[in-house]
A and B are shown apart, each in its own frame.
Chain A
C-alpha cells in the first residue's frame, strides 16, 4: 500500500536524510521524499498498520532532523 503525506522541512539535504530514516523504519518497504513538492510517499509492507508505522517514521525523522514535520 502506498500513501502520500505532506511534510515540512527546510533544506534539501535534510529531506534526503528524512528519506533515509523513513526507509530504514520497520514496516516501510520504500519511501521517497520530494523536497520540491514537500511530500513523502511511503510504501508500506503487507500486513502493517500505516498509522502505527508512521508514528515510528516521524520519530526516526525527528532524530535525524529535529526541525521537520510530517502531517499525519
Chain B
C-alpha cells in the first residue's frame, strides 16, 4: 500500500470505531438516555465520523461544481449522504460514505497490485552490463556499451545486449521472452538475444547491436506503448458512462419530485421523505465505477497474461479483433514449415541409403547451394575432399564428379536427359535429385521443406476454436503447396504468388468476407510487412531479432511454434468473455437495483452493494484474464 492508501485505511478504521461507539451510546436502553432522545445531539455525534471519512469527497464535489463538472461520483456520494442525513437517517448516511471509501480503497489497491504484477512479468530490462576493465569486471549502464564490445554474463544474470558468443558455453533461459521454459544451450559463435537469463556457465559476448536497438529494448518499447489504441468495448464503456450518470441523476430528481406531486394532486399524502429516500438510493447506485475500472483492467490483464505466454499484443483493440477472427491466412515457408530443406526420402536405389548419401555428399562437397548443404547435413559425417576429383558444375542442372574413381552424376531430370540416362519420376513432392553412378541410374533423393511438428495440431485447434476458413499463400509451386495444405488440413491454397500478389490476394479475401468476421494473417515477418499491416490482425511469428516484423505486426509471437497462434486466440477469447461478463453483470445488477430502488424495495444498503460489491466482483473477475497457463 502506498501513503495515500494507508491514510485512507486509517480513516476507515477510525470512523468504524467512532460509528460503533456512537451507535452503542445512542441506542435506547443501553446507551446514555440523554443522547438516545436528543436528535440534535445524535446528529452532531454522527457528523464526526462523517467528516472523518468523507471530507475529501465533499471537497472534491465542491470543486467539481466550481469547475462545472457536476456529474461525477464525488458529487453523487455527497448529495446522497447529505440527503440521507437530512432525512434523519444519520447512520445510513455515514455508512454509505464509509462503504464507498472502502470500495475505492480496494479498487486502488487491486489496480496497483495488478499493475505491479504485470510489470514484474515484463521485468526483462537489464540494469547493467559487465565489461572487462583493467582491474576486473566493470559494471556499466547498458546504454553506454558500444557495438563490438566484449561483455561478460555470469550465471544468474540477464544478457543485456544482443551479440555473438566468443567464449564459454551455457544454457540460457528464454522464458521471459518466449514463454518457453526449456532452456537453450549456446556456445561459441552462437547468436544470443538480450533478455535471456544465463543459467549455468560464464559467457563472453561480443555485442552486435546498441542497447537501444537490442531485442529487449524493442520488446519493452512495444509493451510499454501497447494499449495506446483502445478497443471498441472500452470506448463503449466511456461513452456509456458519459450518458449513464447524468441520466440516472435526472431520473433521481424526477423520482423525488413527480410521484409526490401526483399524489398531492390526486389527494393522497405526498410522502416526500419516502420518495426522496428512493431518489437518493438511485444516486448511490448510479456510480459507473465497476464498469469504468473493470473493462480496461480486463484488457490490461489479458495483454499481461499474453505476454507471459510469449504473445505480445500491441493494443486492446487487437486483442478484441483476434477474438473474432474467422478467416486465417498463412504464409507457408517459415510459418507452417521450418523453412529449412531436409532430405525426406531416398527411392529406387540399389545401394544402401547411407552409401548413396555418402557418394552424393562428396560429389556436392564444393557447392554452396542450400540443396547441396541439406545433402551434406543428411550425411552428417565429415567429408574427405581428397576422394573427390573432376568436379564439374552444370548450371541449372547439377554436378558431375569422380568419387573413389566412380563417375557420379547428380542433378535434376534435365541432367539425366542430357546424359541420356533413364530415370524414375517421383510421386513425392519436393525437389528431386537423380543420382547416376558410372552412367547407370542409382535412384533419387527427395529434398523438401519440412513441416513444423505442431503445424497440423495448430490448424486443427484453430478449426475447433471457430476459425471458419484457413487459407495458405505461398510462392512455392502448385503441387508442393497442395501437398502441404492437404497434409495440414488447410482448406484453400493459392500458390506461385509473388510477394505483391499476396497483398492483392489478402485484399480480395478482405472484400469477400462479412464486416464482422475478422481476417488474420500469420507470417514469419520476412517480406510479409505489407500483408501484415493490410490484414485486420497481422501476426508475426518467430520475431526474435526481426525488427521489421515487430514494427509491422499487431501481434508478435516470440517463438515460431504455430500452436502459439491457437494459444493467442484462446487468450483473446477468454479476455473478451471476461469483458462481456463484467459488462452484463455490472449493468444488469445496476438496472435491477435501480428498479427495486424506484419501487421502494431496495434500501440504501442494497444500493451500496450494487455500487461497491459489484465493483469488487468485477475487479476480481478482471484479474482472471491474467491467468493463461491452461489455455
Residues on A lying within 8 angstroms of B by beta carbon are 4, 10-13, 16-17, 32, 34-39, 41, 63-67
Picked from B60, B288, B299, B300, the residue with its CB within 8 Å of the CB of A67 is B60
User: Whole-angstrom distance between the alpha carbons of A16 and B243 in the complex?
Assistant: 13
Contact at A11–B289, with CB atoms within 8 Å? yes
Contacts A11-B104, A16-B238, A16-B292 known; A34 to B69 CB distance under 8 Å?
Answer: no
Q: Please provide the 8 A-B residue pairs with the shortest distance between their CB atoms, ordered closest to farther.
A: A36-B300, A12-B293, A13-B292, A12-B292, A16-B238, A63-B67, A66-B63, A41-B228
Say how far B432's CB is from chain A's closest CB, in angstroms.
54
Q: Is B72 an interface residue (CB 8 A)?
A: yes
Q: List B contacts of A41 (CB < 8 A).
A: 225, 228
Picked from B72, B107, B224, B228, the residue with its CB within 8 Å of the CB of A32 is B228
With both beta carbons as reference points, the residue of chain B lying nearest to A4 in the complex is identified as B225
Q: What are 11 of the A-B contact pairs (CB < 8 Å)?
A: A4-B225, A11-B107, A11-B108, A12-B289, A13-B289, A16-B241, A36-B111, A36-B115, A36-B297, A38-B115, A64-B69
Mostly, the A contact residues are mixed
User: Whole-angstrom distance between the alpha carbons of A41 and B228 in the complex?
Assistant: 7
A/B pair count, beta carbons within 8 Å: 63
Number of B positions contacting A (CB below 8 A): 30
Q: Is B296 an interface residue (CB 8 A)?
A: yes
Q: Is B73 an interface residue (CB 8 A)?
A: yes
Say how far B168's CB is from chain A's closest CB, in angstroms.
37
Q: List which B119-138 residues lie within 8 A (CB) of chain A.
A: none
Q: List B contacts of A63 (CB < 8 A).
A: 67, 69
Q: Is B227 an interface residue (CB 8 A)?
A: yes
With both beta carbons as reference points, the residue of chain B lying nearest to A43 in the complex is identified as B228
Q: List A contacts of B118 (CB < 8 A).
A: 36
Say how far A64's CB is from chain B's closest CB, in angstroms.
5
Q: List A contacts of B104 (CB < 8 A).
A: 10-11
User: Whole-angstrom distance between the alpha carbons of A10 and B300 in the complex?
Assistant: 17
B607-620 near A? 1/0 per residue, CB < 8 Å: 00000000000000
User: Whole-angstrom distance between the alpha carbons of A36 and B229 in the complex?
Assistant: 13
Q: List A contacts of B63 (CB < 8 A).
A: 66
User: Whole-angstrom distance between the alpha carbons of A67 and B297 in the complex?
Assistant: 21
Say how far B298's CB is from chain A's closest CB, in angstroms.
10
Say how far B211's CB is from chain A's closest CB, in angstroms.
19
Say how far A56's CB is from chain B's closest CB, in angstroms.
15
With both beta carbons as reference points, the residue of chain B lying nearest to A66 in the complex is identified as B63
Q: Is B428 an interface residue (CB 8 A)?
A: no
